[in-house]
Every structure is written in structure tokens, then in C-alpha cells.
Amino acid sequence: MSGIHSIKPILPVLITLTTVFLIMASRRRPNLREFWSIAGSVGTFVAVLTMVPTVLQGEVLCFELSRIAPGLSFRFRVDGLGMVFGLISSFLWILASFYNIGYMRSLGEHAQTRYYACFSSAILGAQGVAYSGSLLTLYLFYEIITVVTYPLVAHHQDEEAYEAGKKYLFYLMGTSKGLLLPAMVLTYLLSGTLDFSPSIQEGILNQEGFWVTLTYWLFILGFAKAAIMPLHNWLPSAMVAPTPVSALLHAVAVVKAGVFSIARVMLSVFGLSLLERLGLGMWTAYFVSITIILASVIALTKDDLKERLAYSTISQLSYIVLGVALLSTMGITGGIFHIVGHALGKITLFFCAGAIYVAHHKKRISELSGIGYAMPFTMGAFALASLSMIGIPPVGGFVSKWFLVHGAMDVREMGIVIVLLVSALLNAGYFAPITFRAFFEGTERTFRLREAPLWMVIPLCATALLSLFVGFWPDLFVELVRSMR
Amino acid sequence: MGLFENPLPYDALSTIIFLPLSGALLILLFRGERAARVMALIFSLANLALSLPLLFLFDPSLSGFQFVELREWFPGLGLKYALGIDGISLPLVLLTVLLSPICVLCSWRAIEQRVRAFMFCLLLMETSMIGVFCSLDFVLFYIFWEGMLIPMYLLIAIWGGPRKDYASLKFFIYTLVGSVFLLVAIVALYLKQGTFFIPDLLFKSYDYRFQFWVFLAFAIAFAIKVPMFPFHTWLPAAHVEAPTAGSVFLASILLKMGSYGFLRFCFGLTPEAAQKLAPIIVILSIVAIIYAGFLCLGQQDMKRLIAYSSVAHMGFVTLGLFSFKLWGLKGAMLQMLNHGVTTGALFLCVGILYERTHSRLIADNSGLGKVMPWFVAFFGLFCFSSFGFPGTNNFVGELFVLLGAFETNKVMALFVIPGPILAAAYMLRLLKRTIWKDGETSPLEDLTLREVLYLLPLAVAVIWMGFAPRGILGLMESSLRLYLEAVKGAM
């Protein structure tokens, strides 16, 4: 096994696990319970940070938990790709923990212990997915995410929440059992191992044929958390969950676990050279292009703010897959950087949606005329994050789009460039009117001046500023991606 | 076929077979219900302790029978008192001795009438079950095989639920029909070879016509026991009406005798017929997996649901066996053990609920998340294990069976895939309805120490076999290879 053997890769998982138990143990003392959430998130982030210098040097950290049979093992492996996802999901958990407190307490939500425990468990799953060293490990944590987020989606326990929860499990569990499981079995039979390849050039599979191609598509569709059409419908329904869940989990941890897994399978199971030989890269790129355009068009029609954001997420997630599918350095860099760019922008947007709901109980975009006067900070952050989504410099989203367009031009695919440009226009088409409506329609007296609690406003301003920050200084994440060989 | 002597200074296998029986007889001598309970517990625990030397002294590199005891019994008929275990029977023996004290513990309060007779039956069951797995002589095997029938019948017929008469009779008739076919096969083999000694009968080349008929007789006997579709209809009735301990023995051990028989006798005695008729078994297995999955989705009674899920799980076992691949055989063996642990545990959980709410309906047992958190933790783990959640025992077993099935025929294997999806659907449905409820739940007592004590070993087994099954796999590997080569050689 190449790489440095170290216990560091499982530390974030262990810390999040401990946090879950501490949260459950202090269910009668809410302040202590919320302290554990924050302490756990900070501890996890620190544990993740300690791995960054090693990974930046191009090294890989490994830890093997157990081995079931030759090539079948539970193992952890941290490289640049895992580091990017691990860093962003653990860091945003800190901000979301504060935001959670503001949101849940302001609305006096029920079953808060369950909520916080499941929330931390979902991060556990995301951290595990990020540092998985084999398909088996990836599958384990991927499934953990599915089941622990169910109580969050169905949190309100009413008819609508149950329906959404049912749909959620049906899509996510159905695809993981029905498509991923056979894909893993086929991969093992074709290659003799499920452990990830140490190189992104050569994967563990190296033959061609019908079953290899089938396995590939089983994987692409099987990771339904990536919400690639036609398996996207669970995501808009999952918006019935409390907004912090939509923000951190359904814009960052859960959905990114899906696209991350797809990227991981493309790079570490199939490898760039095999995908090149099979010609699957471009097929994938055009396949997800449909999602990019179609989801944006649907987003235009949605009046419910969270639903519009959800369709925007569906569209943006496919950027990441598209980038990797270009199979060029620029494309991969852009795609993976978009994990960060989109995460910071979209979590801000959802935070804002939640803040609006807490402060003024508004959900519909058509009701937001003039809210910019009442909530200047929130809507300012919203405007900034929208710019990032559209891809206007110098906000984070611009960097990823720059790399993506560059990557598409490198491989001379003008079709993809056009898709990216049309999508940017559509993004502008559904984000700009919200900001415009908030600041330039209605009058100052439409809403009483009232911001959401500081617990919420500070995190959302922080994420908005951060998305500006990574637009200026994207180096860390770009270097992490480049460290993969 | 190697036979290896018993390295222990005493007859290890006879001891673990007859210790429960002597305990059973002792119970009859004493009066008092408490004494019966305590004595049953002591004897079953002692048996567990006495089987540990078997585990530690077992040599996994040998494929033949170990700890062999061989005595003349009835020389005129060629009968021998012959015992021995190999890598296939040892794990099943260990499962039996592990579950026996658990069954005693779970009946501690649930059984209030005729406690002595109940404990007598339990210990008698233990003797017969271990006997079946250890016998190397067909007559001895058949005696133990039939020996389970009566105590099991009594467990259902005396301590069963409202429809106990119907269920126990149905169980009795089905099993008896199976036994008749088993007897026919045994006699046919005796007439052919003039011996009942199993090692002398195994791996001989019989002509195909003979193999065909013997296989058919064996297959019917074992298919009823497993039970395979369409012979499964006795199972839900028996499970629903049986007391908890009866359900646990039934699901965890008795069903395994069918799959054990398939592996030991259909592979070892009639390999060519097994090869030729495998497609039928494979198709029936896949039908069982899918059909039982759909049935589970519609169940209102928890025990019925788990009973039907057993049919699906055992479908995986027979599918793995008849894939004729090492993955498939390993997976099948693992699934036998996993099913024993997980389904046994699920029946225990339903029993715990029944003691509190006196109902097995899902609707009467909902909203437990708030009132019985510890119970829900265990129950959740076992439900997850049951639908093959990664990191639990069933995941490894199912993965291995699927590896075997895909290795044999990829297109055919794709038809199995709806099975795991259905499993997730019905188990999650069950979990959601038991944990959550709209409105308030009336308070119920959470797990007692006794209940935690008997659930904990099973929970540990679920996780342990999910992450580190290599120890168990190592025990069985060389024996499985022997049987696999026998079947492959017959091609």
C-alpha cells in the first residue's frame, strides 16, 4: 500500500461519532448539547486541518481498519480530492452549528436532540466518504448518510414530510441497492479488488467491453445523491426539511458526497486513460449537460425560494461531474474546485432563505419585494452569493467556471462551452430577479426593519465573504487538486 | 475423506450433545419452576463453555472431519456411533450453543405455565440440533433429525399463540413429509453401498440415474426445511404462533439444517445431479427472494414479516450454494450464520415487545423511539443488519453470494437485485412505524438487564462479522473447497 500509514484519516470520523453520543447523552441540557455540536465541529475541522500540509506535498495518508477478503477492505485514504471535500464540509459544519442554534431555537422546533444527533451523523458520513480508501468504505458511509438524513427530511412528521421522506429513501436507497451494489460486484469480478487505485491515470479496471461500460453507467446513475436527471426529484422534495438541513446537507454534505463519489469512481476506479479509451468522458459530459440546462430552466419557473435553490443545486452539481468528465487537468480542477465554490455560495443562499423565514415567515419569491431594506445584511450576502452562482468575477463561482471553460476549450468541445455560457445566462435569469425584487421593488415600509438573530446573520455573512475570498485566493484548493497524480 | 482423531482427553462431541439431554432429565427430577429455569441456564451455559475447546483446537487447514468418535453400534446392520465435525458443521454447532442460553433467558418470564416441560423441550432441542450437525452415520443423523420434530411440535402446540393447533399440525405434517423423503434417500444409499457411515458414502461416483432420484428425494426433504419456495407456507404459521424461543430455534437453527443438508449431501453424494438440476434451484431461490420481499411489504404482523424475510434470506443461501463458486459457498455459509444471528435477534426483539404490549401488530407497537430508546437501538441495528446494511454481517454474506451469482451468470444475477431493494423497503418501513408515531405513546418499560444481556452478544456478532468475518471464513474454507471440487469434478 503506497502512502503514509497514519491514524489521522479516521480521527474526523471518530470525533464526529463521539459528538453524536455526547449530543444524545446531554439531551436534557440543551445548552450543553449545543456546546457539543460546536466543539465537535471545531474539533473535526482541526483534525482535518492537520492533514493538509502532508497532502499538499503530494503524499497520501492511509489507514486500514479491517480486511474481509483479498481486495475487500474497510480502509481510509486521504488525497487531494478527499481533502477538498473534507475541508469544506467540516469547516461549514462549524458555521452551520451556530446557525442551527439560531434557527431551531427561534422557531421552537421539536425533537431537537434527534435533529442535532442526526445532523452530526450526516457529517460523520460525509467525512467518511471523503476519506474512503475503497469502494466498500465509500458505500458504508454513503449509506450512513442516507439513513441518518431521513429523520431530518421527515423532521416535521406531517403528511408532506413523510411523503418527502419516503421519496428520499426510495430514490437514494433504491439506487444504492439496485445500481451501486451490482456495480461493486461487477467491479470486483472484473478487477479483483475494490480498493482505490493510487493513481488517477490508471484505475483498478483496465479492460474494455460491455460489462465495463455497464458498470460505469451503474455507478453514474447509482450515486443518486448527485441528483443527475432523471434521478433528481428527491432533492426538491427534501426541501421540506428545516432550512439548515437544506443548507449544509442538501447543498454541501449530502449532495457533494454524491458528486464526490462519482468523481472518485471516475478517477480512482476507472482512471483517466481507461475513460479516454472507452470514450466515456464526453458521453458523461453531454449527459450531465442535459441536467445543467434543464434544471436551470425548471428553476426559472419556481416561486418557492428553497425550491428554486434546489433546482439550482441540481444544475450546479452537474458542473462538478462535467468538469471531471472532461478528463483534462483544467476540467478536473474546475470541477473539483466547484465543490468549494458552489458549497460556499449555495450554503449562503440557503442560510439567507432560512433567515428570511425566521424573521418574516416568507417562503415565496413573489413576497420578497422590498425585503432588502428590512434585512440589508442578509440580502447583501444573498446578492454576493448569487454572483458566485452566476460566475461573475471575482466571486468563487467564477474561478470554477473559468477552469471549466478552459478545460472544455482544451479538449476542443465547443458544445460544452456553449452549455456553460447558456447555463450562466439562465443562472442570472433566476437569481438576479430575486435581488432586484428585494432592493428595487416595493418600498422601505413593506417590511419592518428586522434582521434574523445574530446566530444566523453572522454565519451567513461569513460564508458570503468566504466565497468572495476563495475567488481571490483559490490557491489552496487548486493546489490540493493538483497534488493528485 | 480424512478422519482426524479427537485431541481432547474426553469425548468432546458426545459431551456437548448429551450434556443438554442430561440437564433435561435432571429438570424432570426436581420440582419448582425457578429451579428448572436456573438449571436450564446453567446447562446451556456449560455447554457453551465446553464447545470453546472445539473452536480453539479445530485445525482449519484440514478439510476432513475432526474430533471423530467412532464406535461399533449395531454391527449386524453396519451401524456405527460416529461423530465428527468439519469446517461446515463447526460454525453451525457454535451458533447452536450460543443461541441455547439466549433462548432460555428470553423465556425467563414469558413462559409461565409448565416451565419444567418447556425447559425440558428446549434442552432436548439443543441435543438434537447439535446431534444433527455432528452425526457421521445416517441412522444417527436421522434419529437426531426426527428428534427435533417432537419437542418443536410441543413448543408450538403447548406454548403457542391462538392458532397454535393449526400451526403446529401444519409444521408437523410438512416436516414429516420431508423426513419420509430423507429416509427414502438414506435407504437407497444403504442398498447401494451397504453402509450408513457418511464418510464412506461421500465423494463416490454413483451413476447418474441413481444420483438423480437420490438428489430429488434429498432436495424435497431439504427444500421443505429451508424452506424454499413453494414449500414455505408452513413457516409463517409456525413462526407466528410459536413462543419466542421456539421461533428463534426454528429460524436460526432448524432452517439451517435444510441448507446444511444441501451442501453436505447433495454436493457430496449427488454432485452430477446437483449440477444438472441447479438451474431449477437457482430459479426457485430468486423467486423466493423477490416473492417473499413483496409479501413482507404487506405484513401487519411483525413476526409474519420476519418469517417471510427468512424465506428471502434463505433464498440467498440456496442461491449461493448452487452458484458452484467459492464466493457463493462462502456467502451461503455466512448467510446461514448471519440469518441465525440477525433473525434470531429480531424474533427476540418482537418477543420483548410482546411481553409489554401483548400484541405483535406493527400498529400496536409504534412510537417506541421516545419510550424505549435502548430497545430501539438494538432493534434498529438488527433491522439494518437484516437488509444488508454495509458494516453488518448480512452485507458481507449477501455481497459474497452476489459475487458467486454474478461470476456464474451475470444476466441471471441481475434478476436478484430487486431483492435487496425490497429488503431495505420493508425493514425501513417496519422501523419507521415502530419508532415514530403521531401523538403520545403510553409509557413502556425499556430493556431490563436480562434482556440487554442476551441481545448484546448478538449485536456484537452483527458488527464483528460485518467488519472482520475472516476468522469465521478461515474455519470453513478448506472444507468448502473440498465440496466445491467434488461438484466441479463431476462436470
- Determine, for residues A68 and B396 on separate chains, whether the beta-carbon distance falls below 8 Å: yes
User: Residue B488: what are its φ and ψ, rounded to 5°?
Assistant: -65, -40
**Bridging pattern class, strands B79-85 and B65-74:** antiparallel
Residue of B297, B389, B435, B440 best to disrupt the A interface, most CBs of A under 10 A: B389
pLDDT, tens digit, for every residue of B304-315?
Answer: 999 999 999 999
* A139 and A112 Cβ atoms separated by less than 8 Å: no
- Determine, for residues A143 and B389 on separate chains, whether the beta-carbon distance falls below 8 Å: yes
> How much is the pLDDT for A258?
93
Considering only residues A368 and A124, tell me which one the structure prediction assigns the higher pLDDT.
A124
Of A169, A181, A189, the CB nearest to B417: A181
Which strand (E) or helix (H) includes residue B72?
strand B65-74
Opening angle at CA A265, ends A263 and A266, nearest 5: 65
Of B421, B424, B467, the CB nearest to A66: B467
Average pLDDT over residues A357-385: 87
Q: Hey, what's the cell of B452?
A: 440487554
Residues of chain B neighbouring A68 (CB-CB closer than 8 A):
396, 467-470
CA-nearest residue of chain B to A165?
B432
**B413 in contact with A at a CB cutoff of 8 Å?**
yes
Average pLDDT, chain B: 90
* A321 and A267 Cβ atoms separated by less than 8 Å: no
> How much is the pLDDT for B184?
92
Of B403, B410, B424, the CB nearest to A211: B410
**Nearest CA distance, B485 vs chain A (angstrom):** 21
Chain A to chain B Cβ contacts (< 8 Å): 67
Neighbours of A445 (CB within 10 A): 10
Q: Which of B123, B149, B143 is nearest to B131 (CA)?
A: B143
Q: Which residues are CB-contacts of A412 (< 8 A; sequence separation ≥ 6)? A: none
User: Residue B336: what are its φ and ψ, rounded to 5°?
Assistant: -60, -45
**B396 in contact with A at a CB cutoff of 8 Å?**
yes
Is the ipTM of this structure higher than 0.95? no
> How much is the pLDDT for B443?
82
Q: Hey, what's the cell of B94?
A: 457454535
Residue of B402, B426, B438, B472 best to disrupt the A interface, most CBs of A under 10 A: B402
pLDDT, tens digit, for every residue of A269-310?
Answer: 998 889 888 888 889 999 999 999 999 999 999 888 889 999
Residue of A172, A177, A193, A194 best to disrupt the B interface, most CBs of B under 10 A: A177
> How much is the pLDDT for A1?
44
- Determine, for residues B390 and A157 on separate chains, whether the beta-carbon distance falls below 8 Å: no
Query: Which residues of chain A are at the B interface, by a Cβ-Cβ cutoff of 8 Å?
Result: 65-69, 72, 74, 136, 139-140, 143, 147, 157, 169-170, 173-174, 177-178, 181-182, 184-186, 188-189, 211
CA atoms of B69 and B14, how far apart (whole Å): 8
Burial of B53 (0-12, 13-18, 19+ CB in 10 A): middle
Q: Which residues are CB-contacts of A110 (< 8 A; sequence separation ≥ 6)? A: none
Q: Determine the straight-line distance between the first and last CA of chain B, rounded to whole angstroms.
A: 20
- Determine, for residues B421 and A67 on separate chains, whether the beta-carbon distance falls below 8 Å: no
Average pLDDT over residues B242-258: 91
**Nearest CA distance, B395 vs chain A (angstrom):** 10
> How much is the pLDDT for A444?
65
- Residue A432's DSSP bridge partners are none
Longest dimension (CA), chain A: 69
SS3 category, B74: strand
CA atoms of A346 and A316, how far apart (whole Å): 10
| Residue B63 banded pLDDT, cuts 50, 70, 90 | confident
Residues of chain B neighbouring A74 (CB-CB closer than 8 A):
391, 467
> How much is the pLDDT for A43?
94
Average pLDDT over residues A398-403: 89
> How much is the pLDDT for A322?
92
Residues of chain B neighbouring A143 (CB-CB closer than 8 A):
389-390
* A145 and A254 Cβ atoms separated by less than 8 Å: yes
| Residue A446 banded pLDDT, cuts 50, 70, 90 | low
* A467 and A395 Cβ atoms separated by less than 8 Å: yes
**B418 in contact with A at a CB cutoff of 8 Å?**
yes
> How much is the pLDDT for B7?
83
Q: What type of residue sits at position A142?
A: Y
Average pLDDT over residues B13-38: 89
pLDDT, tens digit, for every residue of A41-56?
Answer: 999 999 999 999 988 8
The residue extents of the domains of chain A are 279-485
- Determine, for residues B417 and A66 on separate chains, whether the beta-carbon distance falls below 8 Å: no
> How much is the pLDDT for B219?
92
Residues of chain A neighbouring B414 (CB-CB closer than 8 A):
182
Of A139, A181, A189, the CB nearest to B407: A189
> How much is the pLDDT for A69?
86
> How much is the pLDDT for B1?
65
Q: What type of residue sits at position B153?
A: Y
Q: Compute CA distances B99 → A392, B48, B454, whole Å.
A: 66, 9, 9
b/e string for B431-445 if b means 16 or more Cβ within 10 A?
A: bbbbbbbeeeeeeee
pLDDT at residue A312 is higher than 70? yes
Neighbours of B300 (CB within 10 A): 12
| Residue A2 banded pLDDT, cuts 50, 70, 90 | low
- Determine, for residues A184 and B407 on separate chains, whether the beta-carbon distance falls below 8 Å: no
Considering only residues B109 and A256, tell me which one the structure prediction assigns the higher pLDDT.
A256
* Structural domain of B370: 3-489
Give me the percent of chain A exceeding a pLDDT of 70: 99
HSE (CB half, 13 Å, CA atoms) of A92?
41
- Determine, for residues B468 and A66 on separate chains, whether the beta-carbon distance falls below 8 Å: yes
CA atoms of A257 and A125, how far apart (whole Å): 9
> How much is the pLDDT for B367?
83
Average pLDDT, chain A: 89
| Residue B226 banded pLDDT, cuts 50, 70, 90 | confident
Residues of chain A neighbouring B469 (CB-CB closer than 8 A):
68
SS3 category, B85: strand
pLDDT, tens digit, for every residue of B125-165?
Answer: 999 999 999 999 999 999 999 988 889 999 898 888 888 88
Give me the percent of chain B exceeding a pLDDT of 70: 99
pLDDT, tens digit, for every residue of B474-486?
Answer: 999 999 998 898 8
| Residue B2 banded pLDDT, cuts 50, 70, 90 | confident
Which strand (E) or helix (H) includes residue B465?
helix B449-467
* A403 and A331 Cβ atoms separated by less than 8 Å: yes
pLDDT, tens digit, for every residue of A67-76?
Answer: 888 889 999 9
CA atoms of A91 and A49, how far apart (whole Å): 10
- Residue A77's DSSP bridge partners are A62
- In sign, the C-alpha dihedral spanning A252, A253, A256, A258 is negative
Give me the percent of chain B exceeding a pLDDT of 90: 50
pLDDT, tens digit, for every residue of A236-267?
Answer: 888 888 888 888 888 888 999 999 999 999 99
